[in-house]
A and B are shown apart, each in its own frame.
Chain A
Amino acid sequence: MSAARVMGALCFAIAVLLLPACESTPPLSPTQWNAIETRSVQAPRDEVLRAAAAVILDQGYYFTASDQGAGTMTAARVPLVYQDQYRRTGGMRSSAPVDTIAVWVSQISPAESSMRIQLRESGEHIASDERVSAFWNAVQRRLLAKSPPSDPPSRQEGV
């Protein structure tokens, strides 16, 4: 066996071992995630929560967890590619990879709240300033529309 061949094999093996350690971007620190995902809203906590719940539904998500006391809501929607897996593994109880949004609203002052928006796509944590801002803008719009999430239609179904 030639020395060159042995060297080649060694280099290949080392490369294989080292490859998993190579990540294209370094993972974000908790502080960086906090900065990307947090926005301030000029409204009381409960109003922001209501507006956020409305936007979550507007964007086609369904709630998977909610705790008004804690100010948290988590919601999911199923990507088309995983719909079959979702159907075959128990629907909402299934472990199919889904897109999720988690929102945490906390009060800063009586008229100001902080809103944290965490996005996941097929289980993967997404760092997207743009999408967080888009959600935040939609919440602001809902808040601006006065009585959120929107005025009921003229149709009244009294009982």
Chain B
Amino acid sequence: MTRRSALLHTTALLALAAPGLLSGCQSDVAYSQSALNSLQTREFNFTIDKTFDACVGSLFDLGYTIRSSDKRGGFVSAVNQGSMLQIKLDQLGPTNTAVRVSTSEGGQTRVDKPLIDAFFNTLERRLLTAERGT
């Protein structure tokens, strides 16, 4: 193999591998405080008790393992291979609960929008199923 062909060879390989490698580099999106609040917090028209149970169920559904839980304080955190979800519930009214989800990776806070959305979707489905069941 000549020097030129070896160079071509390497360039072709690198060009092909670049998109694959680059997709692994996820740059963090900078969110404003209000954007972060609207992304992380949602309100549900359910009691805090039902919402908490649905949160626990959603964490199990998504394959997360409970790491700490305090129902009285409205807090639960769960982990799944380095990724952590922290959930805080606040009672806004008798049948109105705010749920705030924050995500972290390897101990560092990182806003993971797809994960937050997936959690809220699962939670919504659980709450609706529970409502239909009662």
A-side interface residues toward B, CB under 8 Å?
1, 5-6, 9-10, 13-14, 16-17, 30-31, 33-34, 37, 64-67, 69-72, 74, 100, 102, 104, 106, 116, 118, 120, 123, 125
A67 near B70: Cβ-Cβ < 8 Å? yes
In the complex, whether B76 has a CB less than 8 A from a CB of chain A is: yes
B60 near A65: Cβ-Cβ < 8 Å? no
Size of the chain B interface, CB-CB below 8 angstroms = 33
In the complex, whether B96 has a CB less than 8 A from a CB of chain A is: no
B17 near A70: Cβ-Cβ < 8 Å? no
In the complex, whether B1 has a CB less than 8 A from a CB of chain A is: yes
In the complex, whether B116 has a CB less than 8 A from a CB of chain A is: no
Residues of A within 8 A of B20 (CB): 17
Tell me the residues in window 1-47 of chain B with beta carbons closer than 8 Å to chain A beta carbons. Answer: 1-2, 4-5, 8-9, 12-13, 16-17, 19-20
Residues of A within 8 A of B66 (CB): 65, 67, 72, 74, 102, 104
Closest to B21 in A: A17
Choose one: A6, A33, A104; the contact of B56 (CB below 8 Å).
A104
Residues of A within 8 A of B57 (CB): 34, 104, 106, 116
**Among A6, A70, A104, A123, which residue has the most Cβ atoms of chain B within 10 A?**
A70
